[in-house]
Structure formats: C-alpha cells, structure tokens
Structure 1
C-alpha cells in the first residue's frame, strides 16, 4: 500500500482536515472575544486573525465573509447557553416551577459571568444581515423547543405566541440588567423574569 497516496498527509499527529478545523475554531474563539469587547461593527478580519494568531488567508479558508464568522460565534454561544439551561432543568427535578427558576438562574448567571458573550448574543446583533437574523430566529426557536421539553407535561402543547412573548420579555430583562451594569443580584433578576413564566405554567 502506498501511504503517500492512500493516507492523508499528517503533521504533528494531525491530519489536514483536523488542522483546518482547529484553525476554524481558533477564529471562532478569537472573534467571540473581539466582537464581545469591541462590537462586530467595529471589528475587522485582521483584528480577529491577529487575536487568533493566524494570517488572514486562513480566515478565507473557513469563512466566505465576516457575517459567516459572526453566525458561527453566535450559534456557539447560543448553544452553550441552551445546554447550560437544560442541564439546570434536569438537576432541578420534576417540579416545573423549580425547573423554571433553575433555568433562569443559570441563564442570568451565565450572562453576568460572561459579559463578552452577553454582548455578542444581544447587543447590535439584529439587522446586520438577513443570514444573521435567520440564525437568531433559529436559536430562539430552539430555545422555545427546549422550554417545551423542560416544562410541558406529556402531551401538553404550549401557546407558541405566548412562548415567544416570554422569551422576548426575558431577553429585554437581560438587556435592562446588562445596561445597569448587572446592578441587581442574579436571584432578584431571576424572580422578576419568573413572573413572566407563570402565565405559561398556569
């Protein structure tokens, strides 16, 4: 067997595809920090590549333009929040009120502890492009589905419009809290947001 033609070239134990995936992840992680600190509109490709320790040619290896990288950053952060919320719900037991409180507490704690990710998720994200708006809508839809899985009784169907209103309300509470410099404790913000969920659980 001719290894030169049948085995992908490897370097330091990593295949070409693995190295490409690693560089892509480096760009996502660096962009998350850069966008979270300076804002997407005030951040360029060179700035992100410098933060990642990569030349600009590697940017275009993984992304056609900056919006694609922003979407990748947003989706990674949104997925991280969703996984954290679902883990909190599972740990809270079967009581729906306890689950709701645990999910909200985990959510607001994450935003307070990760202000750069909070900015990425909420500040100046809408209206950048139709593709970015679509990514946001898909993330909100996934969060709504998580809410149903975590809180609905078997066979129960929540009002989708009501769910959308609750999610929007929670986001606006988060924005208000962020603008205040996270002045109120997480517990107080959680209890305020929990009042929105009472209409869903009634």
Structure 2
C-alpha cells in the first residue's frame, strides 16, 4: 500500500488552515453582500468569490451550492450572537437577564448593521434566508418555553407556546422596524423598552390554565 501524499505547507500555512481562511473570507463576503445596504437581487458564485478575493474553484471547496452557502452565512452569524447572548444572560442576576439578553443583541446589531439586516430586514427575500429565519424563530420560541417551564415549574402547555411565539415575533418585528428607521429610539432606549415589555411576562398566571 502506497503512503498517503502529504500536502506541504504553503508559506508556512498548513492546508487545513488555508481552507479555513478561504471559508472565512467567503462567509465574510456573504455577510457583506446579504447584509449590505444594497443587497444584490441575485447572488452569483462569481460575485461572492470576487468579494472574497478567492478563485471560483475554492467556493466549491467548502460549499455544494449557493443555497448551502447562504445557510452557512446565516448559521455563522447566529452562532456568534447566540454564544455572546447566552454568556451575557448567564452573567446577569435573574431579574436583569431579559435586559442583558436584549442589550447584547442590540449591541451586536448596532456594532455591525450587516448582522441586523441579515437577521431582521424585511427587504431581504432570499428563499433560504426566509426559511432559516422561520427555523430560528421556532428554535428561540422552544428555548424560551424551556426557560418558562424551568423558572415557574409548570409543564409545557399551549399558553407557554402562545406567549413565547408572541415574544419572539414581537421582538423581531420591533428590531426590524427600528433598523428601518420606523422607530426613532436610541440603542439604550430600545433596550429599555423591550426589556420592560419582557419583564411584564414574568407573571406565572400567564402560563397556567387556571
């Protein structure tokens, strides 16, 4: 049996690291294009690679097609936000956790408007993004439901489901309108308002049928 061919480092960079660097460049390019103020009507592989500064052949090194690429950009962005938000919530006292979570989300969006547009802009009609947003909303509702069942020691029920879907949809719509300039509040003012609304849902009677 012949020994496996080893890929030599190029300019001191190992092959796996070069692949990771190219993938990161492509994801950044995807966020630029999808989250830009003037998102293209249609993504093209050539356009993505041109923005990333890599050859077209390297696109297929990491992604099977454009749909897989768009989904990967979305998941990459959401993964970063989820990690920082979870850390912020975990570090906050229980009665300040709603504000900590919302504050982190708004801080990230304010710091990088591309992220806000990717996740919440109503102008983006890419079919994959629409599907991913729907999946994300359902996931957040389920996670919120778990938090309610643990916090109030009640079994999962339809009242919890209704409330958590209401919360997720309401927050998303409010942020979308804020990004579009339809809500003229500063960052901290928006955080205060959303946190105050979420705190009103701390009444355990909302989650019981009795």
**How does the TM-score come out when normalised to structure 2?**
0.78
Q: CA deviation at 1:43?
A: 4.1
Does 2:88 correspond to 1:88?
A: yes
1:28 is matched with which residue? Answer: 27
Q: CA 1:92 to 1:76, structure 2 compared with 1: closer, same or farther past 3 Å?
A: same
1:113, distance to aligned residue in structure 2 (A): 1.3
Aligned to 2:208: none
Match of 2:99 in 1: 101
Which secondary structure state, in structure 2, belongs to the residue aligned with residue 8 of structure 1? Answer: coil
Query: Judging changes above 3 Å, is the alpha-carbon distance between structure 1 residues 150 and 22 closer, same or farther for their aligned structure 2 residues?
Result: farther
- 1:114 is matched with 112
Q: CA deviation at 1:174?
A: 0.4
Q: 1:147 to 1:132 in 2, by over 3 A?
A: same
CA distance 1:27–1:112, change in 2 (3 Å) = same
Q: Secondary structure of 2:97's partner?
A: helix
Check the 8 A contact 1:100/1:197 in 2, yes or no.
yes
Conserved in 2, the CA contact under 8 Å of 1:148 and 1:157?
A: no
Aligned residue for 1:48?
Answer: 48
**Are the counterparts in 2 of residues 101 and 190 from structure 1 also a CA contact under 8 Å?**
yes
Give 1:176 deviation, angstroms.
Answer: 1.3
3-state SS of 2:195 partner? helix
The question of whether the paired residues in 1 share the 8 Å contact of 2:121 and 2:179 is answered with: no
For each residue in 1:102-129, what CA deviation from the matched residue of structure 2 results, as whole angstroms up to 9, or x when unmatched? 1111111211111011111122577533
SS, match of residue 64 in structure 2: coil
Superposition map of 1:57-72 within 5 A: 57-72=57-72
CA distance 1:52–1:122, change in 2 (3 Å): same
Q: Which moved more, 1:80-89 or 1:189-198?
A: 189-198
2:193 paired residue number: 192
Structure 1 stretches lacking a partner, 5+ long: none
Q: CA deviation at 1:145?
A: 4.4
1:54 aligns to what SS in structure 2? coil
Q: Distance in 1 between matches of 2:181 and 2:197?
A: 20
Figure out how many residues of one structure are paired with residues of the other and give that number: 197
- Name 1:39's counterpart in structure 2: 39
CA RMSD of aligned residues (A): 2.8
- Inter-CA distance 185–157: structure 2 relative to 1 (3 Å threshold): farther
Whether the aligned pair in 2 keeps the contact of 1:85 and 1:103 (CA below 8 Å) is yes
Give 1:150 shift: 5.7
Per-residue Cα deviation, 1:84-114 (whole angstroms, up to 9, x for no partner): 2111111212x2x310011111111211111
CA distance in structure 2 between the partners assigned to 1:33 and 1:181 by the alignment: 23
Q: Structure 2 stretches of 5 or more lacking a match?
A: 204-210
Which stretch of the first structure deviates more once superposed, 161-170 or 132-141?
132-141
